[in-house]
Chains A and B, each alone.
Chain A
Amino acid sequence: MTSKMRGLWSRHHLLYLAVIVFGLVLGVYVSSRQITPGYEYAQLLPAAKKIPAFNLHNQQGNPLTPELWRGRWSLVFFGFTSCPDICPLELQKLGKLLREMGEGSGLQIVFVSVDPERDSLEKLGDYVHFFHPDIIALSGANTELARTAQFFGAAYDRSVIIDGKLLKVPWGIDMPQGSDEHYQVSHSTRVFIINPQGEYTGSFAPPFAVADLAADMKKMLQH
């Protein structure tokens, strides 16, 4: 091999190496953030999942029907009203997002309470109205709430102290007799995205800022 050929060979290999390294770095970056190319913050599922029927009711007492999801984008957040810190913080952001997107944007926010023992539908209505009058609240029996949360992968459980012993109550189970009003709920703080065809398409992972959500939702609403 002449010295000229060796030079060409090494230049080509350097180029190949650079392309491979760049591809690897990009791959690692995208997979570590699990961000879907095209969106800054939203993490989309490989395939959208059709939302099944859930036996839940809104704050007016009306049953949830598939029509709720049709023809508009929805963001779904799970929580409970006795949550002093995170739930108000995130709902405040989602209310602000609705205001920022403007009326008639075609975006709706849905809050699902996973604490039916303490959160009556009437109480939920007052609660969500505080953040934005258009936020929809949903609740139902513990078994049905667990089924809903399971579909989205929004794990939660509740823990209560009874007779000095800490008792963990898994999702889907009613709070046991003897529980006082001050039990804790640990829950997912992911915001789930539902497309206008009523399919679960992805989510935003916490922590997030209103501007981040708005930037990606504006892109989605354009498609």
Chain B
Amino acid sequence: MCLRTFPIKYLSQVKPINNRLRSVVLLSVGWFFLSPVISFAQTQGAIPDNFSITNAWIKLAPPGSSVNAAYMDLHNHALEEKVIVAVTADCCAQVMMHQTRREGDRVYMDHRDTLYIPPQGELQLKPGGLHLMLMGAKAPLQPDDSVNIAFDFSDSTQLTLRVPVKKAAHDQ
């Protein structure tokens, strides 16, 4: 069967069909054949190669606190550097990349625009260091909740991860 001519030829043989129905059928048949191609393009362009995330968890915030911190290990198995340029989460209005910095007794929170993961290296987001700050939750996150966190890379790829909410890292 010729893919290019099939819908037109087929529809031209259906005489009683009215024009509106004909358009709908034409679009549906077109979508049937094109959708695998579109979906293939999305997955091909979207996921970064040779990159993985392990030990991801969101710290349960105490009642009254409007922010949660997320921690994880980012592994870059590729030969080139990976750069995360933005992070979003489906639970929250905003996600910021932060670095806790100690200077003497004082602690500062530095905003980071990007996270660099060296070639064949890893970057740890851990308590007291680099972390994601989840702000403006639609509802306070509860233990056993899980959140979809999406990471946008500088090469326009994207990785989405489902991250559990826990009281401590070792909690199951």
Residues of A within 8 A of B (CB): 81-86, 88-89, 91, 118-119, 123-131, 154-156, 181-182, 184, 186-190, 205-207
For B61, give its contact among A88, A89, A128 (CB under 8 Å).
A88
Q: Which of A128, A129, A187 is in CB contact (< 8 Å) with B107?
A: A187
Judged by a CB distance under 8 angstroms, whether B146 is at the interface is no
With both chains docked as a complex, state the minimum distance between the C-beta of A187 and any C-beta of chain B, in angstroms. 7
Contact across chains for B109 and A85 when beta carbons are under 8 A apart: yes
- Specify which chain A residues have a CB less than 8 angstroms from the CB of B102 in the assembled complex: 189, 206-207
Task: Judge whether A188 and B105 touch: CB under 8 Å.
Answer: yes
Specify the main secondary structure of chain B where it touches its partner: strand
- Most chain B beta-carbon neighbours within 10 Å: one of A88, A126, A154, A207: A88
Q: Top 5 A-B pairs ranked by shortest CB distance?
A: A130-B62, A127-B64, A123-B64, A84-B69, A126-B63
In the complex the two chains form, is A155's CB within 8 Å of B64's CB?
A: no
User: How far, in angstroms, from A91 to B100 measured CA to CA in the complex?
Assistant: 16
> Measured between C-beta atoms, what is the minimum distance from A61 to chain B in Å?
16
B85-111 at interface with A (beta carbon < 8 Å): 94, 98, 100, 102, 105-109
Q: How far is the CB of B46 from chain A (nearest CB, A)?
A: 29
Residues of A within 8 A of B69 (CB): 84-85, 88
| A138 CB, nearest partner CB in chain B, Å | 15
A98 to chain B, nearest CB (A): 15
B residues whose Cβ falls under 8 Å from a Cβ of A = 59, 61-69, 94, 98, 100, 102, 105-109, 127-128, 131, 133-135
Q: A187-B106, A205-B105, A206-B102 are known contacts. Are A85 and B62 too (CB-CB below 8 A)? A: no
Q: Is the CB of A131 within 8 A of B100?
A: no
- Quick one: which of B98, B106, B131 has the most chain A CB within 10 A? B106
How far does the Cβ of B142 sit from chain A's closest Cβ, in whole Å? 13
How long is the Cα–Cα vector from A214 to B23 in the complex, in angstroms? 77
> Nearest Cβ in chain A — how far from B98, in angstroms?
7
- CA A177 to CA B94, docked complex, whole Å: 22
Q: Are A127 and B106 in contact (CB under 8 A)?
A: no
For the complex, give the distance between the alpha carbons of A155 and B155 in Å.
Answer: 42
Q: Can you give 21 A-B contacts (C-beta < 8 A)? A: A82-B65, A84-B65, A84-B68, A85-B69, A85-B98, A85-B109, A85-B127, A85-B133, A86-B107, A125-B64, A127-B65, A129-B63, A130-B63, A154-B105, A156-B106, A186-B106, A187-B106, A189-B106, A205-B105, A206-B105, A207-B102
- Closest residue on chain B to residue A131 by CB atoms: B62
Check if B128 sits within 8 Å of A207, measured CB to CB. yes
B62 touches A86 (CB 8 A): no
Could you tell me the distance between the alpha carbons of A119 and B62 in the complex, rounded to whole angstroms?
Answer: 13
A184 with B65, Cβ < 8 A, contacts A84-B59, A85-B128, A206-B102 known: no
Residues of chain B contacted by A181 (CB below 8 angstroms) = 66
Residues of B near A207 (CB, < 8 A) are 102, 128
